[in-house]
Amino acid sequence: MLSAFVQAFKTPDLRRKLLFTLGIMALFRLGSVLPTPGVSLKNIQTCVGQAEDASLLSLINIFSGGALLQLSVFALGIMPYITASIIIQLLRVVIPRFEELHKEGQSGTAKLTEYTRYLTIGLGVLQSATIVATAANGQLFRSCTVPVIPNSSPVNLALMIVTMTAGTGLIMWLGELITDRGIGNGMSLLIFTSIVARFPQNLGSIITGSGGVSKFAIVITVILVATIAVVFVEQGTRRIPVQYAKRMIGRRQYGGSTTYIPIKINTANVIPVIFASSILAMPQLVSQFSPNSSWAAWVGRNLRQTDTIYLVAYGLLILFFTFFYTAITFNAEEIADNMKKYGGFIPGIRAGEPTVQYLSYVINRVTVVGSIYLVVLALVPTLAVIELGLSESLPFGGTTILIMVGVGLQTVKEINSQLQQRHYEGFLS
């Protein structure tokens, strides 16, 4: 692997791509610590240590690399774009026009990308307004007595909202730059950067807090075991053989080859976990605006991350969204039609409706395993915190481990493929 890195940096165009990607990642981290105008940096630093672990916006805080609770320019992180992308994909089921655009190829995809950008800005305005309003009324850091926004005039709050929304647009542009001119998927790498940036701090909180060295060692063991499990499952695929009949077009013969359809065990990736976390965070977020109501009291008693009701609901939602999202992204009828169009068939299965039924049967069985895997991976860190009696969250939750390993594997494969194109020894050889 080290020799492959050396060879990669010896290749001029590949070296430029790697350095460009690293430069964008560094710029992203700079924006994550740059405070938004109107925020008292001194007061933020006083309050953030008291409220970070109990924050109801912890999911966004993870994906922003801790920028959310610092109310920085990049406070929203990549979450508005992720949410917008998921919504656009889900709307393909509801709006026929979106499904038509998806089938049009590159031009339709470009149009859907444009809609995603507009929706990202809209969500950025809504989320930034919510966060600024929560911080202004003192609900973001409930245990802190000093104001994080000393001047809460409408003009100042509007400036903060515009700044955070502009930061979201800039993040989106930086991610697209990495995808076009760098190495790997830009959005995924920015999420990866946010998670890795908090690794030293989170590890240190285990030792300096109530954990100690012994519990720190247990946490490291849990992380290593979870990482190995993620690598094993994410690399696993169910291969469906496909054979193409020979065809004569003019004087040339086409087809006659055998290939396969790879179906990942975890087809839905981390999307179900994000959906489940977002839905369960909504009641907690709404209750902040009326903290003295009976509704807020019930939410505070039953929907904490260590409560049984929360854990059961979390697991059930992950199961539901795994099947739901897989059904959207894996269209058995479309795959069967494409196979029939180009003369492909599954050995032993007739073309047409029998192929659709067989593909649906296989994907449903694989999704059962994938959904159970996601539930276990998402709940193990929380259960470990309860069992060990730690007040701090684990340095890496199941979601973050899944993202880190997935992005790492995909980036390594892309670099390896580019090295192989230049006849160099690859990462995985």
Render pLDDT for 300-356 as a digit per residue (tens, 0 to 9). 777 777 778 888 888 899 899 899 888 888 888 888 888 888 778 888 888 888 888
Residue 368, pLDDT score: 92
Model pLDDT, residue 56: 47
Looking only at the bridges linking them, the beta strands covering 247-249 and 252-254 are: antiparallel
Helix (H) or strand (E) holding 262: strand 258-264
> What single DSSP character describes residue 69?
G
321 Cβ partners below 8 Å, 6+ apart?
A: 268, 271, 272, 275, 276
Residue 425 corresponds to which tokens in the numbers above?
A: 């020894």
CA distances from 26 to 81, 120, 414 (A): 20, 23, 21
- Check residue 426 and give its pLDDT: 45
Terminal Cα-to-Cα distance of the chain (whole angstroms):
9
Alpha-carbon distances of 236 from 28, 229, 233, 296, 422, rounded to whole Å = 33, 11, 5, 43, 28
Q: Which two tokens stand for residue 296?
A: 């807020």
pTM of model > 0.75: yes
Task: Tell me which DSSP letter residue 393 carries.
Answer: P
Rounded distance between C-alpha atoms, residue 374 and residue 322, angstroms: 8
pLDDT score of 425: 46
Residue 395 backbone dihedrals phi, psi, to 5 degrees: -55, -35
Q: Is 309 left (phi over 0), alpha (psi -120 to 50) or beta?
A: alpha
Spans of the chain, pLDDT less than 70: 1-5, 48-67, 142-143, 209-212, 246-256, 285, 288-291, 389-398, 422-429
Across the beta sheet with 237-244, the strand order is 258-264, 237-244, 344-345
What the chain holds in terms of domains, given with CATH numbers, is 1-198 (1.10.3370.10), 200-394 (1.10.3370.10)
Indicate the DSSP class of residue 35.
B
Q: From residue 343, how far is each of 251, 253, 254, 281 by CA, in Å?
A: 18, 13, 10, 48
Give the model's pLDDT for residue 189: 87
